[in-house]
Structure 1
Amino acid sequence: MRIIRTLIVTSLISLTIACQPQQSDAIKQYPHAASGAYDAALTSDGHYSLVSTVEHGVAVWDNQVNALKFQWYLSEDEQNLVIALDIAPDGSAAVTATKEQFAVWDMATGKNRGYYQIDKSHIRDIAISKEGRYVLYGRADGVAVHVDLQTGRRIEFLGHQEKINAVALSPNGFYALTGGNDYSAYLWDTRSGQVVYRFNHASRVTQVALDPQARFAFTAGSKKQAIIWDLTTGAQHSNLQYIARQKIFSAVRFSDDAKWLATGSPSRELALWNIDTGERVLDYLVAAREHSQPKSAVVFAVAFTGNNQLITESSSGLSEYFEIKRSK
């Protein structure tokens, strides 16, 4: 997901504030970033959104009432663009990161829990565990770092040979999934640094995700290979079925019942997949800004709401809702 940002940052900065969204399949739309977003995250139920804005730091939105809850800046003196962020699975804390530093925030009070500077290379992706205790980040030098913010314990995973593109962390913080340009994704134990499974691809791994109930993992390569893995055996459970020779996924979410997978892409596409068969069940388009260049939008985050809907945050700066109407 993070490799997409270098391709779209120029166009995001040039977005026009007053422009109107192009047509999408959404049943509801709400503006969350007038000049466009650079990244976003959602709680698992879609209740809260984090939106990294081009001009105004990170905006925290309460989606149940569509109200701005907090606004966070990593520095009061510098315009540090947040390039990666995540919300803890229990919604208690959040993490925001620039290339060189990250900050942890309390989602109830909005207060900062600490600022942290990394010692080398730069951050490509970041994740946070329940209660905000553990943080995992992947670096451009191929090193993944797991930090216990309570004890200060820090472990580096050196399995990757090239830069890391995406990371995911189990809710308890004990397992990490990392994917990189070395055509590999690793599931590894953060307490020992030992590899549990290695998932091989025919191209660089651009996206990873974990089912919070530890049933499945998702890894996607850049060339027609997006796989759901069974975490009890490490074997392939299904392969997403699509025709495109190259497809990048910029957002992924497992449903709570582990029957469905929702994905977003850099080309406005939102899709719902059957986990068991890999079949695409539903397709949608998010909105793009009329005067943006190119005329597209990156889906940064997706979540299943409790009322049979999907909610997204995208580079258009819009939060959008889509009705799930499944025929199967």
Structure 2
Amino acid sequence: MFQEISGKSRASVPIQTQQIDSHRPAKRPASVLQTSSGTWVLRDRWLPCALMLTAALLLSGCFDPGEKHSFGVAEQGLYDASLSSDAGSLVIASVTQGGSFWDLANSTRSFNWNHHGEKPTALVAVALAGDTSYAVTVDQAPIMVLWDAKTGQALRSWMLPLEVTSMALADAGRRLLIGTANNEALVFDLRRGGIEHRLSHEEEVNDVAISADGKLGLTVADDDYARLWDLQQAKELHRWELNNNGMTAALSPSGRYAFAAGQSARAAVWDTRSGALLFELNPFQKWVGRGISYSSAVFSPREDELLTGSVTGNVKRWSLGNGQPLGSWILGRRSWISPSAVKLIALAYARNGDYFAVGSNGLVYVLGPQSG
């Protein structure tokens, strides 16, 4: 059923950038005319094309000064992605190229992770431990595979009983939280190789999050609620209403703070100890009837900030102290002819002060400081 993969199954692929010679004098194109005043203008027949191209580039959002650069990790897009807590490593489930592990410091692919030899596996969910110790991949069967993220070796595999929608992995592989389409979240013990607990929900579980130590878990489901769990005791600690289908869940590294968002609905941060609301990210959605759909979120390692990504390519930093925005970026599409804006599916804070965002379009964006 499962063929173990050894070492680097394919050579790392460096990202190359074409150099432009800035010293070569530019030739005046035949479509440009000089007026009597000495200014240069486009010929009439080229003007509409130039205007359309300019408008397309502006719509692509590629002029955001905070976007330092981007590079591709999948040609046809991604189903899922998971970043390490320091933005140094990435695991992806690509649409056509299977799974792989990436070294983001060098923008290179280190390992191809597929479940049946070299044939690309259609993975539905992936999870990387924040400390880059282990990773987990799940296919449509659903077969789940545990990987050593340092060596790229497959360690164990299991056939799961339920269709998987999402996963979150604690540091050192201490515990895995699995969201399913069968109204349950599974608490899985990777060391012993079995299900510890089943956490019941009213409807499908869409996203899950776990604290670094594996003791707390957060789930959001189609029943419009976010639930905080003691994963050791399988006990529900708090429940928060989202006003629509649950879409995104995130826990701070220590588990002190929780973020949850509904689809075009409520998005908020809570204190997990008291259950108290800290601030709303869509404060007017109750009256307007809809709000921003946040498709990804991550807390900073120091737990003083929140980074969010939307389904329309917007990345925003929030202060946990006062709930106010600290900066934002609008990320460009893969090309100006792309049919829709980029959906953000993974975020992380880099050690050098940059921010990493992974889009469903298969691009990794490296973001620098940006105000407003």
TM-score over 0.5 (shorter chain): yes
- Pick from 123, 135, 160 the counterpart of residue 82 of structure 1: 123
**Aligned residue runs from structure 1 range 235-314, under 5 A:** 235-241=276-282, 245-290=290-335, 293-314=338-359
Q: Report the aligned-residue RMSD.
A: 2.2
CA deviation string 1:124-158 (max 9, x = no partner) = 11111121232211111111111112123423334
SS of the residue 2:248 aligns to: strand
Offset at residue 23 of structure 1 (A): 4.3
Offset at residue 313 of structure 1 (A): 1.3
Offset at residue 77 of structure 1 (A): 7.7
Give the distance between the partners of 1:314 and 1:201, measured in 2 at CA: 24
Q: 1:148 maps to which residue?
A: 189
How many pairs align?
A: 307
Q: 1:207 maps to which residue?
A: 248
TM normalised by structure 2 equals 0.77
Give the distance between the partners of 2:174 and 2:300, measured in 1 at CA: 24
Offset at residue 54 of structure 1 (A): 2.0
Give the distance between the partners of 2:93 and 2:254, measured in 1 at CA: 28
**4+ residue segments displaced more than 6 Å:** none
Offset at residue 79 of structure 1 (A): 4.8
Give the distance between the partners of 1:196 and 1:168, measured in 2 at CA: 15
1:259 and 1:158, CA in 2 relative to 1: closer, same or farther beyond 3 A? closer
**Aligned residue runs from structure 1 range 1-328, under 5 A:** 22-24=60-62, 25=64, 26-76=67-117, 79-99=120-140, 100-120=142-162, 122-241=163-282, 245-290=290-335, 293-326=338-371
CA deviation string 1:293-320 (max 9, x = no partner) = 5232111111111222111111222111
Q: Is the 8 A contact 1:39 1:300 kept in 2?
A: yes
Give the distance between the partners of 1:118 and 1:78, measured in 2 at CA: 21
1:308 and 1:78, CA in 2 relative to 1: closer, same or farther beyond 3 A? closer
Unaligned runs of 5+ in 2: 1-56
Give 2:90's aligned amino acid: S
Q: Is the 8 A contact 1:101 1:117 kept in 2?
A: yes
Give the distance between the partners of 2:203 and 2:182, measured in 1 at CA: 6
Higher relative contact order (CA 8 A, sep 6+): 1
Percent identity reads: 27
Give the distance between the partners of 1:205 and 1:55, measured in 2 at CA: 28
Q: Which has the larger radius of gyration?
A: 2
Give 1:295's aligned amino acid: S
SS of the residue 2:172 aligns to: helix
Q: Is the 8 A contact 2:328 2:371 kept in 1?
A: no
Give the distance between the partners of 1:177 and 1:191, measured in 2 at CA: 13
Unaligned runs of 5+ in 1: 1-20
SS of the residue 1:131 aligns to: helix
Give 2:330's aligned amino acid: L
CA deviation string 1:197-234 (max 9, x = no partner) = 12222222111110012220111122431111112211
Give the distance between the partners of 1:92 and 1:181, measured in 2 at CA: 32
